[in-house]
C-alpha cells in the first residue's frame, strides 16, 4: 500500500516537471517534459535544487537555448541550469 501524502507529493512533482496541470496519462506527462524550456528548468532549480537537464537529442521540443550545454552525443544532451 502507498501513503496518501507520498502519492500527493509524487503527483505534485509530476505536474511541476511535466508542466502539465493534470496529466491524464504517462504520455501526456512525457509530452510536457519534451517541451521543457529554460524558464521551467530554472523554476525546477528553485523548487528542487536541480542542476542539470538530460534530454533526448532526437525528441526534445522545448527551447533550452538559455542553458549551457555541457555534454551531447547522438542520443542525449545535458544542460546545466544556472539562475
Distance, in Å, from the CA atom of 66 to the CA atom of 64, rounded to the nearest integer, reads: 6
pLDDT for residue 81 = 95
- Which stretches of the chain drop beneath a pLDDT of 50? none
Contact 46, 83 (CB under 8 A): yes
Q: What is the mean pLDDT of the chain?
A: 92
Question: What pTM was estimated for this model as a whole?
Answer: 0.83
pLDDT for residue 1 = 52
Distance, in Å, from the CA atom of 36 to the CA atom of 40, rounded to the nearest integer, reads: 6
Amino acid at each position: 500500500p502507498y501513503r496518501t501524502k507520498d502519492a500527493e507529493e509524487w503527483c505534485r512533482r509530476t505536474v511541476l516537471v511535466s508542466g502539465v496541470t493534470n496529466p491524464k496519462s504517462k504520455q501526456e506527462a512525457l509530452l510536457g517534459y519534451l517541451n521543457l524550456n529554460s524558464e521551467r528548468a530554472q523554476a525546477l532549480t528553485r523548487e528542487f535544487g536541480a542542476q542539470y537537464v538530460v534530454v533526448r537529442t532526437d525528441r526534445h521540443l522545448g527551447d533550452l537555448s538559455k542553458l549551457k550545454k555541457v555534454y551531447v552525443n547522438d542520443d542525449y544532451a545535458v544542460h546545466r541550469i544556472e539562475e
